[in-house]
Every structure is written in C-alpha cells, then in structure tokens.
A = this chain, B = another copy of it.
Amino acid sequence: MKTIILKKQVIKIFLKFGLSKEHASISANALINAELVGAYGHGLSRLKMYCDRISKKVINPKPKIKVKKISQSLSHVDANNSIGFVAADVGIKTAINHAQKTGIGMVAIKGSGHYGLSGYYAEQAVKKNLITMIYTNAPPAVAPHGALKSLFGTNPICFGAPTGTKIPFILDTSISMINRGKIRVAARNNQKIPEGVALDKFGKPTNDAKKALAGVQLPIAGFRGSGLAWMVDILSGVITGGNHAGRVKDPFDDFSGPQNIGHLFITFKSNLFQKNYKQRIHDNIRTIKKLPKIKGIKEIMYPGQNKFLRYKKNLNKEIYIPSIIKKDLKDLIS
C-alpha cells in the first residue's frame, strides 16, 4: 500500500476512535515511521491494540496534558493517560525547547503509554543539533539477575547525536537479548525465535515465540544488563511518577487500567563544550570506519545508519501489509 494512502487510513481510524486531528496525525506518523524503518513490532501490528485500549477506556483519546515547568531547563508532564505517541511528542518538543534556551533540558513524563521507538523522538532532537538521551520503561519481560520471574521491561536505552550528515547517530537498544515486539511478530506469524534469548514459564530455554511470551526474556550480559534495566526503571518510572517495579501493564493483555508508563528525555546542545563538535564527530566516525574489518563486513556502520538506509529505501516503495494486519485495518475502519 502507498504510504500516503496508508497514513490517511490510520488517521481516519484514530479519528474514529476519538483522537483529535493533531493527535491522530502524530500517532499515524509514528506508526508508519516504524514500518518504514523495518521495526514492525512497533508498527501497524499494534494499531488494533491502541484502538482496543481506547475502546476499553484505558487510553484517553482526549487527554488534558499538563506541562509543569520547574525551571527554564526542567519540566514535568502529566500525560493524562494519552496515547504514548502524543505524550512523547510533547516531551521531546519541550526538552528541545529547554535545551535551545539554556543549553540543557530534562523532561519527565508520567501517565503515558507505549510510544513506539525511542529513536523516532531522538531524531527530532538531533535534527536541532542536540544530543539526547531517552529512557522509557515497559511491561515485565526480563527477569532481574537472580530472579525467576520477569519484572523489568525491555527498557530501551536511547542516545542520539548529530553527525554533521543527514544520517544521525541513533543508538536505540533494548536491554533484552531480543525485542519483545519481534517475539510478538514471530508469535503472530508462527515463526521460531533464536536460541538463548528467552526461557519458557518453567525457566527452560525455548525458541517457541508463544512460550517465550509466557515466559522470561533474558537480559543482555547477565547482571550488567539487569543493572541497566534497573537503571532505566528508576529513570523512567521511580523519578517520574510513572509505574515501576513491574507494574506497567501489558498493553495487549491487560485492560484493567491505564499503563501509566513514564519517560525521561534529556537534551543538550552538541557544541556546549567544543565549538568544532561537527568536525570532531566527523573525525570520530571516519576514524572508526577506517579500521580493518572482519571478513565479510563491507562497512562498519554506526548505530542508526542501517535503520536510516532502510527508511530511505522503503520511502519510495509501497508498504507491504500482511493479511492479518489488512484485516485489522478493514475491521477498524468500518
């Protein structure tokens, strides 16, 4: 399907479910961006879930979002259980504004929901020549080191930096061995997942996507990854007023209340300390790309580079829509 037609359909669906024109457009853009960068677990596969949550009144389609300004650099946002895209849009725009005025900005959000890809918001800050760090928590998926039960989300760590080129440096890495969205897509399509990334509910290794969803995802690097996940839970949940310690509800399975996810956006000017930042980052990337490579590797890619290239490539193609999602679109629009 052509991107522009798809976008119109998604907007129409969100409008039908009560979102304002502006919020429908923000949400459609984020979902379609996920499709274009190939992050299907954060794309249209979630559209029905968002609509279901609105129908069941656990996402507020007409939120009254409050931005409390603490200082010229600091704000706290209560997203009033908005769809996550809208909360994050307010968050990153406010953080950009703070950094542009004072050099540095930090915005904490509570009362939000799943917002898709952190990297999508990081890109917006990087386009303004800012460096950014973004944290969000998520429903239980990964067991703390030593525990037999999932509690941490896949809690991504996101970092963006301008490169002086059109392709930003965007690291957006979950602290689990595999993204939960990918397991979800595999489960929907009856595909296997790799070995060593998840355990079933009895604590046994599994490559069955459905069993993995019912079980435990493994963190990267044992106690190190577990520690990073805990850090993200503190940064996005404990300090913001969002849910934490495993209390973020699974958006697909648990309609007993809003998710109350928290996010944290930190932004600062890339040339705060070094006026020739662009020259320095250019030199940094060039030096690393010139290293001798492992056999079979054509180019050492920086984080975000592959995603950007996929985006560019997909932008001129029609978006492939699996039949299961075609059905979602048809059901939701009618």
Assuming the A-B contacts A239-B272, A274-B239, are A303 and B102 also in contact, with contact meaning beta carbons closer than 8 angstroms in the complex? no
Structural contact, B161 and A273, CB atoms closer than 8 A: no
From 240 to 287 in chain A, residues with beta carbon under 8 angstroms from any chain B beta carbon are 240-241, 244-246, 266, 268, 270, 272-274, 277, 280-281, 283-284, 287
- Which residues 181-233 of A have a CB within 8 angstroms of B? 203, 220-221, 223-225, 227-228, 230-231, 233
Across the interface, A270 reaches (CB within 8 A) one of B73, B230, B239, B280, namely B239
Contact A74 B303 (CB under 8 A): no
Q: In the complex the two chains form, is B221's CB within 8 Å of A74's CB?
A: no
Chain B residues with CB under 8 Å of A241's CB are 273-274
Closest residue of chain B to A152 (Cβ to Cβ) is B288
The CA-CA distance from A231 to B292 in the complex, in Å, is: 21
Are the C-beta atoms of A284 and B238 separated by less than 8 Å? Answer: yes
Contact call A294/B148, Cβ cutoff below 8 A: yes
Chain A contact residue count (CB 8 A cutoff):
71
Contact status B297-A171, CB under 8 Å: no
Binds B, one of A81-89, A103-111, A313-321, A323-331: A103-111
CA distance A171 to B220 in the complex (A): 15
The answer, yes or no, to whether A5 is at the interface (CB within 8 Å) is: no
Contact A245 B146 (CB under 8 A): no
Q: Is the CB of B146 within 8 A of A300?
A: yes
Task: Give every chain B residue within 8 A of A103 (Cβ-Cβ).
Answer: 70-71, 73-74
Give the docked Cα–Cα distance between A270 and B74 (Å). Answer: 13
Report whether B224 and A173 are in contact in the complex, using a CB–CB cutoff of 8 Å. Answer: yes
A104, A272, A299: most-surrounded residue (chain B CB, <10 A): A104
Q: Is A65 positioned at the interface, with any CB of B under 8 Å from its CB?
A: no
Question: When the two chains form their complex, are residues B280 and A74 in contact, meaning their CB atoms are under 8 A apart?
Answer: no
Least Cβ distance of A42 to chain B in Å?
17
B300 touches A147 (CB 8 A): yes
- When C-beta atoms are compared, the residue in chain B nearest to A133 turns out to be B133
CB–CB B281/A238 < 8 A: yes
- What separation, in Å, do the CA atoms of A300 and B246 have in the docked complex? 15
Let me know if A166 is at the binding interface, CB within 8 A: no
Which A102-136 residues have a C-beta within 8 angstroms of B?
102-104, 106, 108, 110, 131
Are A245 and B283 in touch, CB under 8 angstroms?
Answer: yes
Q: Is the CB of B76 within 8 A of A273?
A: yes
Known: A147-B300, A244-B284. A74 touches B106 (CB 8 A): no
Most chain B Cβ neighbours within 10 Å, of A147, A159, A238, A273: A273
A157 in the interface (beta carbon within 8 A): yes
Q: What are 11 sample pairs from A and B whose C-beta atoms fall under 8 A apart?
A: A144-B291, A147-B293, A147-B294, A147-B300, A159-B234, A161-B234, A169-B230, A203-B294, A234-B284, A239-B277, A245-B284
